[in-house]
Chain A
Amino acid sequence: MTIIVTDGLTKTYGGGVNALADLTVAVDAGVIGLVGANGAGKSTFIKIMLGLVPPSGGTVRVFDLDPVTETDQVRARVGYMPENDCLPGDVSASEFVTHLGRMSGLPKTAARERASEALRHVGLYEERYRQIGGYSTGMKQRVKLAQALVHDPDLLLLDEPTNGLDPAGRDAMLALIHRIGNEFGISVVVCSHLLGEVERICDSLIAIEGGRLLRADRISSMTEASDILAVEVSDGTDDLAAALTGMGLQVTRDGRMLLVPMESDSSYDRILRAVADLDLNLHRLDQRRHRVAELFTKKETADV
């Protein structure tokens, strides 16, 4: 099922800043990573989907609803977790999440029940009556997630959910998001500038840079097998490279590995023969898989 469709989506802020430029993408349900460096337009994209800022051009549809004209219906089905700290310190998590549940239109008792449930799911059941001011950063992030979850949305928009977390907290948060996407049946858009962590939990990935779409695809197709063979030998790499070049193969060197384009199945045999002729110890000969990071390294080096 396709949940988000944009066509030529453009957002220009006053002063001519292009936050989004001609973004056309169709997103399927599941856990979706929205990756890009700071200022790439991730937050603007989220705000447009929530109907907080109108697009300057193009269209966007969330659950086949227009966020500009059908704002209420969209927001009722979407939960938003902002990037920044947004919690008052002097109320309990239970009270705060209940209040925001009511602000999403839940009746009083339902809001209280759902708040307890949401806090239980994010792992704060025991501590829910304590004041938020005394919580750790990790616990606060969980409260933020709980308030996005309280009204049972069909889509969660999480803006940098792992911000400020230590490695253990980061893993726990990612596991939680993975669980929400796969067990709760709620689609999740995870914004991040850290490709590595998003890659672990996402079904598909949208990469944007400078407001433009870099690539949008399923993770599986991004990591599919390539037509490159990786060869690694204990030593004598140079000799092997020379031998393979002599056989008319295009060899590129990558650290201790040699990368050889696979022209046909016989490439395996030819490489093996070359290795045997040189009497080298073969450590590895396999078909290389793309890593997601490769898709960005050419253009985006700073944050990935």
Chain B
Amino acid sequence: MSEAGVIHDIGYQRYRGPRLGRLALQQALYVQGLRAAFGLGRSAKAKIFPWLVAGIMLLVAVILAAIRSQTGQVIFTYMQFADQMSLLIIFFVAIVAPQLVSRDLRSNTLPLYFSRPLRAADYVLAKYAAMTTSMWLLLGVPQFIMFLGAAFTTKDGFRGVWNELGDLVPGLGYSLLWALMFAGIGLLVASFTGKQAFAAGGIVAVFMMTTPIFGVFMSLPSTTANSLAGLTSPMFLIAGVGQWLGGGADAEWDLGRFGPIYGIEAFCLIVSCVLLLLARYRKVASL
């Protein structure tokens, strides 16, 4: 194909290597999304906010671990840590979710993805997995630091470490619940606009606006209304599920016998967010 007379140019080389399947594409997109969540492989500017949030949370965890190891005092349990960090988590979602999905909408990159073997569902699932993982890491790593602080200074030997681990694992599970729900809602909101600032504002609004509703329900005289108040806000919904599963040891408000409802709503909310995302992208994918 290349002419013999041309010697300064080695010409076009055909590719004869392997071509990977859709699972590999999904993985590659997942890894890229996870890296992008923390600004890795991106400009320095993109690293500021994710690492600011992560830094604060790590710092809090280190302080908590230090207090725990010096005085043996437990300020936050693992689950309380996630609840206390809720504002930072919202902040993180508002930064990362637009980064993951609004950017591709804004720059119109999606036709380039969907003219390749990748499908809309692959794209959505990879992004959702990346977002969830990044949030789980955001919460889980500080929790693990707290665990290390406690485990290395325990006075009960191996049994103490084992007990601490028994506290950590539900804590990590609770963080995963946070991650699954906030990733779903965050990505869904962000997938409706290409403007990252709008998306971030929308996400903060969705999470913040629901908090006053919780307050209104709590102020009602009915105990049933009080018990169901947490259903109105994602943050309190998760806290409610935590209380229900954790036995309601540190109840902020009384769930009554409505614990399972919290569980069902959380599950339905996560599933419907993912389904709506899939539906949204099936429409986008047809260009």
Interface residues of A (CB under 8 A from B): 47, 50, 52-53, 71-72, 75-76, 78, 80, 82, 84-91, 95, 99-100, 102-108, 110, 114, 117, 121, 131, 147, 151-152, 180, 183-185
User: Does B251 make an interface contact (CB < 8 A)?
Assistant: no
CB distance from A213 to the nearest CB of B (A): 23
Binary A-proximity of B1-28 (CB < 8 A = 1, otherwise 0): 1110000000111110111111011001
| Known contacts A75-B117, A86-B112, A89-B107: A183-B2 contact under CB 8 Å | yes
Closest 9 CB pairs of A and B: A152-B15, A80-B115, A88-B107, A184-B12, A105-B19, A105-B20, A102-B28, A86-B108, A72-B117
- Which listed residue, A85, A121, A185, touches B108 by the CB 8 Å rule? A85
A69 to B116, CA, bound (A): 15
Q: Is the CB of B109 within 8 A of A86?
A: yes
Judged by a CB distance under 8 angstroms, whether B212 is at the interface is no
Q: How many residues of B contact A (CB 8 A)?
A: 40
Interface centre among B1, B2, B43, B112 (most CB of A within 10 A): B112
Q: Closest approach, in angstroms, between the C-beta of B7 and any C-beta of chain A?
A: 14
A and B contact pairs by CB, cutoff 8 A, 17 listed? A47-B286, A72-B22, A78-B115, A80-B112, A82-B111, A85-B108, A86-B109, A90-B42, A102-B25, A102-B32, A103-B112, A103-B116, A105-B20, A105-B21, A121-B12, A152-B14, A185-B14
Report the nearest A residue to B13, measured CB to CB.
A117
Asked if B32 and A99 sit within 8 Å, CB to CB, the answer is yes
In contact, A185 and B117 (Cβ under 8 angstroms): no
- Determine whether B113 belongs to the interface, using a CB cutoff of 8 Å to chain A: yes
B6 closest partner in A (C-beta): A183
Closest chain A residue to B122, Cβ basis: A103
- Contact flag A91-B42 (CB < 8 Å), given A103-B25, A107-B20: yes
Assembly CA distance A219 to B20 (angstroms): 38
Residues from chain A with Cβ under 8 Å of B18 in the complex: 107, 110
B116 to chain A, nearest CB (A): 5
Q: With A90-B42, A90-B46 as given contacts, are A183 and B115 in contact (CB-CB < 8 Å)?
A: no
Residues in A whose Cβ lies below 8 Å from that of B109: 86-88
- Cα distance, A154 to B232, chains bound together (Å): 55
B287 close to A (CB within 8 Å)? yes
Beyond A52-B286, A72-B22, A85-B108, list 10 extra A-B contacts (CB 8 Å).
A80-B112, A82-B112, A86-B109, A88-B103, A102-B32, A103-B28, A105-B20, A106-B19, A110-B17, A152-B14
When C-beta atoms are compared, the residue in chain A nearest to B114 turns out to be A52
Please measure, in the bound complex, the distance between the C-alpha atom of A91 and the C-alpha atom of B3, giving whole angstroms: 36
Q: Does A87 contact B107, Cβ atoms closer than 8 Å? A: yes
Known: A99-B32, A117-B13. A86 touches B115 (CB 8 A): no
Minimum CB–CB distance for A276 against chain B, Å: 49
Give Cα A72 to B19, complex, Å. 11
Within 21-80 of B, Cβ neighbours of A (below 8 Å) are at 21-22, 24-25, 28-29, 32, 41-43, 46
| Interface residue? B285 (CB, 8 A) | yes
Given A103-B29, A105-B19, A117-B13: A53 touches B286 (CB 8 Å cut-off): yes
Check B103 against A105 for contact (C-beta < 8 Å).
no
A147's nearest neighbour on chain B, judged by CB, is: B112
Q: Are B25 and A50 in contact (CB under 8 A)?
A: no
- Is B118 part of the contact surface with A, judged by Cβ < 8 Å? yes
Which residues on B sit within 8 Å (CB–CB) of A91?
42
Q: With the chains together, A105 CA to B118 CA distance in Å? A: 9
Do A95 and B20 touch across chains, with their CB atoms under 8 A apart? no
Closest residue of chain A to B15, judged by CB? A152
Determine the distance from Cα of A88 to Cα of B42 in the docked complex, in whole angstroms: 12
A80 to B15, CA, bound (A): 17
Contact present for B286 and A184 (CB under 8 Å)? no
B112 to chain A, nearest CB (A): 6
Q: How many angstroms from the CA of A185 to the CA of B43 in the assembled complex?
A: 38
Q: A83 to nearest B CB, angstroms?
A: 9
User: Smallest CB-CB separation from A83: which chain B residue?
Assistant: B111
Q: Hey, which chain B residues are within 8 Å of A105, CB to CB?
A: 19-21, 24-25, 116-117
Instruction: Check B17–A106 contact: CB distance below 8 A.
Output: yes
Q: Which residues of B contact A183 (CB under 8 A)?
A: 1-3, 11-12
CB–CB B21/A103 < 8 A: no
In the bound complex, how far is the Cα of B41 from the Cα of A184, in angstroms? 32
Q: A78 to chain B: which residues have CB within 8 Å? A: 115
Contact in complex: A184, B1 (CB < 8 Å): yes
Indicate whether A103 sits within 8 Å of B118 (C-beta atoms), given known contacts A80-B111, A88-B109. yes
In the complex, chain A residues whose CB is within 8 Å of the CB of B115: 50, 52, 75, 78, 80, 82
CA A300 to CA B3, docked complex, whole Å? 39
Residues of chain A within 8 A of B46, CB atoms compared? 90
Question: Are B29 and A110 in contact, with the CB atoms below 8 A?
Answer: no
Chain A residues near B19: list those with CB within 8 A.
76, 104-106, 151
Give Cα A158–Cα B12 distance, bound, in whole angstroms: 19
Q: For B116, what are the chain A residues with a Cβ–Cβ distance below 8 Å?
A: 75, 100, 103-105, 151
B34 to chain A, nearest CB (A): 14
Please indicate the chain A residues that have their CB under 8 angstroms from the CB of B117 in the complex: 71-72, 75-76, 104-105
A303 to chain B, nearest CB (A): 23
B282 to chain A, nearest CB (A): 12
Given contacts A110-B17, A185-B1, contact A47 B108 (CB under 8 A): no
CA gap between A107 and B49 in the complex, in Å: 31
